[in-house]
Chains A and B, each alone.
Chain A
Amino acid sequence: DVKVTQSSRYLVKRTGEKVFLECVQDMDHENMFWYRQDPGLGLRLIYFSYDVKMKEKGDIPEGYSVSREKKERFSLILESASTNQTSMYLCASSLWDISGANVLTFGAGSRLTVL
């Protein structure tokens, strides 16, 4: 079964800490995404990567950075966590051309609480 695996389901961090959220896919997908999900706001794209070492800013990149050194791994980094970054973070991957046959596959999510 194809998978997108997010390393941590639940994290609790303190304000100012550096936080790494890891995502690994085993489908040889070109595209990888990081979304943030908040009640009433739906899914908002933070960053998108279409190839190794390539990245594009999404709707809300401020306060985040990403790293894609290998095709299968896409990391989201919070350089200095703040309480307003408490949220559910969803990683997804897809083939380069998204279509009915090649939809986004999501991980189970990482729920981050910043105290």
Chain B
Amino acid sequence: AQKITQTQPGMFVQEKEAVTLDCTYDTSDPSYGLFWYKQPSSGEMIFLIYQGSYDQQNATEGRYSLNFQKARKSANLVISASQLGDSAMYFCAMYKPGGGADGLTFGKGTHLIIQP
């Protein structure tokens, strides 16, 4: 079975600083995908970024980048120049193709608070 671990239950960061949210995963499958979602206080889960296991380059989307270290089974989210609106819960998730109901696994989340 696959597993996602987010070791930081909460983080406080000063506005404009860079933030790294940790995510490690465990799977024996060679093919998988890694996602990050943001959940603001409104409750809706917002997709941020995706990394495929065979992708050669780290994924980037605006201020978000994914630091993918395959050998270490690590997929940390980096937010550059943090903003007050980045305060939210962040979830790392892993997908195994063809996995059906077991195919998508979420971590327990990190609560990020950006301080002015």
Contacts and interface: CB of A to CB of B under 8 A. Distances in A.
Interface of A: 9, 33, 35, 40-43, 45, 47-48, 50, 56-58, 88, 90, 92, 97-100, 103-109, 111
Interface residues on B, range: 20 to 34
B45 interface: yes
Contacts of B95: 98-99
B101 interface: yes
Nearest to B96: A98
Contacts of B101: 45, 47-48, 56-58
A108 B91 contact: no
A92 B45 CA distance: 9
A83 B13 CA distance: 36
Which secondary structure dominates where chain A touches chain B? strand
Contacts of B100: 48, 50, 56
Contact of B50 (A40, A103, A111): A103
B29 interface: no
A97 B97 contact: yes
A41 B104 contact: no
Interface of B: 9, 33, 35, 37, 42-47, 50-52, 59, 91, 95, 97, 100-101, 103-104, 106-109
B38 to A, nearest CB: 11
* Most chain B Cβ neighbours within 10 Å, of A57, A88, A106, A108: A106
A60 B59 CA distance: 33
Contacts of B35: 103-104
A35 B108 CA distance: 13
A108 B43 contact: yes
Given A99-B33, A104-B35, 16 more contacts: A40-B9, A42-B91, A48-B101, A50-B100, A56-B100, A90-B45, A92-B45, A98-B103, A99-B50, A103-B47, A104-B47, A105-B47, A106-B37, A106-B45, A109-B44, A111-B43
B43 A88 contact: yes
A62 to B, nearest CB: 15
A35 B52 CA distance: 24
B5 to A, nearest CB: 11
